[in-house]
Amino acid sequence: MLKKNIIKQLSIFVNNEPGSLASIALVLKECGINLKAFNIAESSGFGVLRAIADDPEGACRVLRERNIVVKQTDVIAVSVEDQPGGLFRIANIMGDAKINIEYAYAYTGRNGPSIFLRVDDPEAAAAAVKRAGMVCLSQKDI
Amino acid sequence: MFWNPDAECKPIEDLKKAQYRSLKTLIMRLYEFNDFYRNKMKAAGVRPDDITCLEDISKLPFMTKSDLRDNYPTKMFSIPTKDVVRYHVSSGTTGKPTLVGYNRHDLDYWTESLARAMTSVGITSDDTVQVSYGYGLFTGGLGLHYGAERIGASVLPSSTGNTERQIELMIDLGVTVIACTPSYLIHMGDVAERMGVDFRRDTCLRKALLGAEPWTEGMRAQIENGLGIDAYDIYGTSELAGPMFTECAERNGLHIWGDIAYIEVVDPETHEVLGPGQRGELVITMLNKETFPLVRYMIKDVTAILDEKCACGRTSPRIERISGRTDDMLIIRGINVFPSQIEHVLLMNPSVNGHYQIIVDRVNSLDVMTLQAEINPEAFSDKMEDVVAIKRRIENDMKKYLNVSVKVELKESGSLPRFEGKARRVTDRRKY
Ligand SMILES: [Zn+2]
């Protein structure tokens, strides 16, 4: 089963106002939610905080209780030896497999550096990564 | 100088007699031929016989914007639609538009009213008038256009937008008079400065007729000193016909031609008729309107009647500059918008939850409206462009349905204030 290669990312809506991100960080801290990796995308007026947490299900629940707009998004994490070359290799693999990368961000954990990828078909992407001889991390590897 | 001295300078007692005759004829005709108005009179328990003097007008029921909206499009018309020669449309309070119609006679007194008004501020057939109000469903452009044509002025129908070109044409054609919103003229001044154009040195502009939005003596001084011109206030709404009335050269209130309209000012709470000089809500009766009735219409503008004789010799009563609204209508770049309309359009979009805030600012002399709306958690996406698309769609809907440019800011749900009782969703930070 390829399902184990899917990682649940938290996508959190952030008002683009001074202090918004800080207040979300405070809520995460109060609820004991530990972020392994995160990335922020901004547009005029709002932003999206994309984060990988230990317990995405639990984190989602407590954030919703605090009225924070949050969504779980399927991403994959690919282990790479070095990040710049690794990203180039992954981009080529996805290109060959005709899979579109929405966005990507890097992270270094206990299993070395890896890259998180949001793609239109995560399962096909994970299969393509494996065929190319690279390794997808599972939730417990993060 | 007078356009129609007999009408404009009629002794006040004669004017009042003529007003009574017009009112009596109007009410008898409406009671006989207009189902909407007969039902309204019956509901109020008034008959035409009860009107025996001008003051008896207070026995008649008020009309409001909802009368026009509820009878959309032509249900309250007194004439067959084949006799209508023009329609104008403004957006209504809850999505349904307000439609007004004119027969030849209605267009005639509208134009006559503006011919008198323009003459009263010294505009003549020697002038070139640039009409920078919107042409189309809005009454401003076409109204001023025909008024200026009637006095024999040369008319430049430049409408709104493309400010640089408007300034070039103003210079090339030797425009002497402009009609537009006061904030647009200030904006024009700013653009001219960037173009290296000095209004005093490079243009022949000497007068401006400014209206369709609230303004103050402070703005008048800014415009007159900045551009070296005389600026006059103009007033009217599409329900009356369009812009119709201006100040005269004395600049001591707007003359409301007594043979065309009868004005009252009432207490906004009790609806009791107030005396001259007392500020309240303006109520207008259009004495000669034929297409549809407009009797004791509550126009929601705040003013006071000035009845002492004007030094110009005109006998019609005047009203002081409009100082506010008794409802929550906003005027954004000359376009009337109600928060309820914005709410109505917003609620058509399932991606937001219906909580909102409106903030109005004035940036570089132009109104900027920001709409803050809460995104629905289900509509949220981790992809930036999906969320940006929600914002764009709301902005496009506002432009499409309300004809206003709105900047939308999406907020997380629960972040905007909630109200118990009367909501205060509008913050108007403009300074007049
Ligand atoms: Zn006067």
CATH number for position B272: 3.40.50.12780
* Mean pLDDT of all residues belonging to chain A: 87
Specify the higher pLDDT residue, B39 or B382: B39
How many CB atoms sit inside 10 A of residue B29's CB? 15
Q: Produce one character per residue of B233-271: b if its CB has 16 or more CB atoms within 10 Å, e if not.
A: bbbbbbbbbbbbbbbbeebebbbbbbbbbbbbbbeeeee
- The CATH number linked to B385 is 3.30.300.30
Closest of B330, B417, B332, B403 to residue B372, by C-alpha? B417
Phi and psi at residue A90, to the nearest 5°: -65, -40
- Domain identity same for B313 and B387: no
- Domain identity same for B214 and B227: yes
- CA distances from residue A14 to A11, A40, A63, B308 in whole angstroms, order as listed: 10, 9, 12, 61
Mean pLDDT, range B384-410, rounded to an integer? 92
DSSP assignment string, B307-357: -SPPTTS--S-EEPPP-EESS--EEETTEEE-HHHHHHHHHT-TTEEEEEE
Instruction: For residue B404, give both structure tokens.
Output: 């206003």
Q: How buried is A48 (Cβ within 10 angstroms: 0-12 exposed, 13-18 middle, 19+ buried)?
A: buried
- Shortest distance, CA A115 to any CA of chain B (angstroms): 17
pLDDT for B95 beyond 70: no
Q: Which residues of B touch A14 (CB under 8 A)?
A: 412
Mean pLDDT, range B83-95, rounded to an integer? 82
- Domain identity same for B271 and B338: no
- Domain identity same for B65 and B151: yes
Q: pLDDT above 90 covers what percent of chain B? A: 78
Of B296, B327, B358, the domain-final residue: B327
- Domain identity same for B399 and B272: no
| Domains of chain A with bracketed CATH | 8-73 (3.30.2130.10), 74-141 (3.30.2130.10)
| pLDDT confidence of residue B63 | 98
Q: Give the confidence band of A1 by pLDDT, cuts at 50, 70, 90.
A: very low
d(CA B57, CA B61): 9
- Shortest distance, CA B389 to any CA of chain A (angstroms): 12
| pLDDT confidence of residue A30 | 86
- Residue to mutate among A7, A13, A64, A65, with most B CBs inside 10 A, is A13
| pLDDT confidence of residue B12 | 95
DSSP 8-state code for residue B413: T
Mean pLDDT, range A14-26, rounded to an integer? 82
pLDDT for B298 beyond 80: yes
Q: Is A118 at the interface with chain B, CB within 8 A?
A: yes
Strands (E), B55-169: 86-90, 98-102, 128-131, 154-156
Ligand 1 centroid – CA B234 distance (Å):
13
Ligand 1 centroid – CA B280 distance (Å):
22
Of B284, B305, B327, the domain-final residue: B327
Tell me, what's the ipTM? 0.73
- Domain identity same for B381 and B310: no
Q: How buried is A72 (Cβ within 10 angstroms: 0-12 exposed, 13-18 middle, 19+ buried)?
A: middle
Overall pTM > 0.80: no
Contacts made by residues B234-237, CB under 8 angstroms, sequence distance 24+: B234/B117, B234/B179, B234/B209, B234/B210, B235/B211, B235/B319, B235/B322, B236/B139, B236/B143, B236/B211, B237/B139, B237/B299
Total beta-carbon pairs less than 8 A apart between chain A and chain B: 50
Q: Which domain holds residue B211?
A: 1-327
Of the CA atoms within 13 Å of residue B16, those in its CB half-sphere come to 11
Q: Do B380 and A102 touch (CB under 8 A)?
A: no
Angle at which helix B104-120 crosses helix B139-150, to 10 degrees, equals: 70
- Domain identity same for B166 and B248: yes
- Domain identity same for B376 and B257: no
Of B295, B327, B359, the domain-final residue: B327
Mean pLDDT, range B282-308, rounded to an integer? 96
Q: Do B409 and A46 touch (CB under 8 A)?
A: yes
Of the CA atoms within 13 Å of residue B175, those in its CB half-sphere come to 23
| pLDDT confidence of residue A2 | 44
Closest of B8, B42, B113, B33 to residue B293, by C-alpha? B33
- Shortest distance, CA A117 to any CA of chain B (angstroms): 12
Q: Do A45 and B413 touch (CB under 8 A)?
A: no
Tens digit of each residue's pLDDT (9 = 90 or more) over B173-225? 999 999 999 888 988 998 999 999 999 999 999 999 999 887 888 889 989 99
| Closest chain B CA to residue A24 | B412
- Domain identity same for B247 and B363: no
Q: How many domains does chain B divide into?
A: 2
Q: Do B380 and A45 touch (CB under 8 A)?
A: no
CA dihedral B63, B66, B71, B74 (to 10 degrees): 80
Q: Where are the alpha helices (DSSP H) in chain A?
A: 20-30, 56-65, 83-96, 122-131
d(CA B33, CA B11): 33
- Domain identity same for B306 and B368: no
d(CA B233, CA B248): 9
- Domain identity same for B317 and B340: no
pLDDT for B405 beyond 50: yes
Q: How far is CA B387 from the centre of its chain?
A: 37
Instruction: For residue B355, give both structure tokens.
Output: 């909580």
Specify the higher pLDDT residue, A3 or B3: B3
Max Cα separation, chain A?
A: 45
| Closest chain A CA to residue B370 | A45
Q: Give the confidence band of B139 by pLDDT, cuts at 50, 70, 90.
A: very high
pLDDT for B362 beyond 80: yes
Angle at which helix B182-194 crosses helix B163-173, to 10 degrees, equals: 80
DSSP 8-state code for residue B247: B
Considering just the CA atoms, what is the radius of gyration of chain B in Å?
23
- Shortest distance, CA A14 to any CA of chain B (angstroms): 7
Position of tokens 């903030």?
B359
- Domain identity same for B321 and B186: yes
Q: Do B410 and A67 touch (CB under 8 A)?
A: no
d(CA B255, CA B9): 12
| pLDDT confidence of residue B432 | 65
Ligand 1 centroid – CA B74 distance (Å):
37
